[in-house]
A = this chain, B = another copy of it.
Amino acid sequence: MNQPLSPDPTLRHRSHEVTLRLLRPDGTAYADTDVVVEQTRHAFAFGNVGFDFIGLANGDTAESPGAVFGGADAETAERLVDLWLAVFNTATLPFYWSGFEPVRGEPETERLLTAARWFRDRGVSLKGHPLAWHTLSPAWLLDAPAEEVEQVLRARIRREVTAFDGLVDTWDAINELVIMPVFDNEDRQNAITRLCRRLGRIPMARLAFEEARAAGPGVRLVLNDFNMSTAYECLIEGVLEAGIRVDAIGLQSHMHQGYWGEERTLEILDRFARFGLPLHLSETTLLSGDLMPAEIEDLNDHQVPSWPSTPEGEARQADELVRHYRTLLSHPSVEAITYWGLTDLGSWLGAPAGLVRADGTPKPAYDALHRLVKDEWWLGPTRLRTDAEGRMKVRGWAGDYRVDIEDSTAAFELGPDTSRTGVTVTP
């Protein structure tokens, strides 16, 4: 394992420089010409759940039956679209098995494909969540013998990865594996827990990763958990030592019981960065109301009739969100942050975890995040001038850019692999 990488609060590692040479189609240089450069997309994955827009994408008028959390109705969703697209570039789609395939053999593939295309048409990358998980496993699997459970799970993983090939490029291959074989929050033990207890955690991870990898050799596969303790570290070590190829480590980071703070966040990042894999902060929430009591172990156990967003809570949420995103981006291993929910409407547990109030108005946290992602960490339209040979230097955040020259437009990228010696752009 590598030594922990030190975080850099200047975020220097997030920006890059390139020298462009701008040429006309006939090969002559745009010498001594004014141009405007602007960023069009972040390479960093600023994600959110896409659950709210499945109904909208499918032309529903009632609530989307496929959504489990989130699930704004189509009319509300329409008003949320602009807010969502103005900040986020990556959507997590719900493949919770019991909701995705409520009747055996009748998966909601078409509905989710329509949603995936809707996002892709708007320039949004897609992540599928999750392929293997004990919670929300289908009721029709409860009584199946172990061999059948394994076979059906393998088939379901292949089916989803295959069907969404070219649309969903990142999957949570397996979710919450630390607790999976000992999960006991149910009247009847679910079939996935039963299978995991029988096989063991590492063979269960192998099953999920190998099936997904075989079905989609090009997709990125994430091992995702809410457990930030040594147990998850030990599990990751075991999975990697067993030769299972993991593309990224997912850290859920729901903070219903309070903001972790910079010190704990960096400590966690350092512990999990040791494996040399990218870190995805996969399910980030900060509340704009009362916090959940610290003694609650399973967040699902906290049920309150009303959980309002408050002015003080909203100010705190905005402050903590900015601090948290700054801390996460300061660590070079972090390549994705998914905020878990845009609106309070239909949020998990009814918590005021959204960035937008139930009435559709943005909270201060939304504005603060927008300011970070599209202002402070963003290269807006910037006037530059080429030299006598059509050259100019551009420095900016990793991502996609456009350059406007006279009546033409060209695109280029900035990233760690971008050549610094010269890129020829033909608008």
Contacts and interface: CB of A to CB of B under 8 A. Distances in A.
Identical copies of this chain, number: 2
A85 B237 CA distance: 43
Contact of A179 (B201, B230, B241, B242): B230
Given A230-B179, A230-B231, A231-B231, A237 B271 contact: no
Given A1-B197, A198-B1, A178 B234 contact: yes
A230 B180 CA distance: 11
Contacts of A239: 238
A179 B237 CA distance: 14
Nearest to A1: B200
A198 B179 CA distance: 27
Interface string A256-296: 00000000000000010010000000000000000000000
A203 B237 CA distance: 10
Interface in A218-264: 227, 229-235, 237-239, 241-242
Contacts of A233: 231
A195 to B, nearest CB: 12
A234 B1 contact: no
A146 to B, nearest CB: 11
A202 interface: yes
A228 to B, nearest CB: 12
A139 interface: no
Q: Which secondary structure dominates chain A's binding surface?
A: helix
A5 interface: no
A410 interface: no
A241 to B, nearest CB: 4
14 contacts: A1-B198, A1-B199, A1-B200, A179-B230, A182-B230, A201-B234, A203-B241, A227-B230, A229-B231, A232-B234, A234-B234, A234-B238, A238-B238, A238-B241
Interface in A141-192: 178-179, 182
Given A182-B271, A201-B234, A202-B241, 13 more contacts: A1-B198, A178-B230, A178-B234, A200-B237, A203-B241, A229-B229, A231-B231, A232-B234, A234-B234, A234-B238, A238-B238, A238-B241, A238-B242
A242 B201 CA distance: 13
Interface in A306-343: none
A223 to B, nearest CB: 12
Contacts of A229: 229-231
A248 to B, nearest CB: 18
Contacts of A235: 234, 237-238
Contacts of A237: 200-202, 235, 238
A271 B230 CA distance: 17
A274 B233 CA distance: 21
A3 B200 CA distance: 11
A121 B300 CA distance: 60
